[in-house]
Amino acid sequence: MAKHNAIGKEGENLAAAFLRAKGYQIIEINKRFGRAEIDIIAKIGNEYVFVEVKTRTSDYFGFPEEAIDKKKIALMGKAAEQFSLEKNDDLEIRFDLISLVFGDDKHNILHIEDAFFPGFEAF
């Protein structure tokens, strides 16, 4: 596995553990819907939460949360719609972002709830 893929996988695992500690139920990790992939699908209360995880080893080239673009947001929206159709229930949905920056001996995690909504600009 390439180093950047390993870092991304570690970030997703840390993000899932972080969400579990906050009371979220993890439904799926790395769920694919055609060309779209949702890093984490979680549930809390009456909401499905579709989480994009961005992980970096430093913020030298910008913060991880700055790397999400309109195309990714649109794909996540389509994936969320497909997931909701498959589940056939009336739960609300929202889109969160978890940003992780690894340091020498620690990591910084930022959880942005309602980070974006497909069809609107991010942030």
The percent of residues above 70 in pLDDT, for the chain, comes to 80
CATH class of 3-112: alpha beta
Instruction: Identify whether the C-beta of residue 78 lies closer than 8 Å to the C-beta of residue 36.
Output: yes
Average pLDDT, rounded, for the chain? 84
Q: What is the pTM of this model?
A: 0.85
Contact 51/15 with Cβ under 8 angstroms?
yes
What is the side-by-side order of every strand in the sheet holding 107-112? 25-33, 36-44, 47-56, 92-102, 107-112
pLDDT in tens, 25-60: 999 999 998 888 899 999 999 999 999 998 876 555
Integer Cα distance of 46 and 106 in angstroms: 33
User: What's the count of helices (H) and strands (E) in the chain, helices before strands?
Assistant: 2, 5
Rounded Cα–Cα distance for residues 123 and 116 (Å)? 6
Return the structure tokens found at 84. Answer: 């909701």
More confident call, 121 vs 48: 48
Between 85 and 16, name the one with better pLDDT: 16
| pLDDT attached to residue 122 | 45
3-class secondary structure for 73-103? HHHHHHHHHHHHHHHCCCCEEEEEEEEEEEC
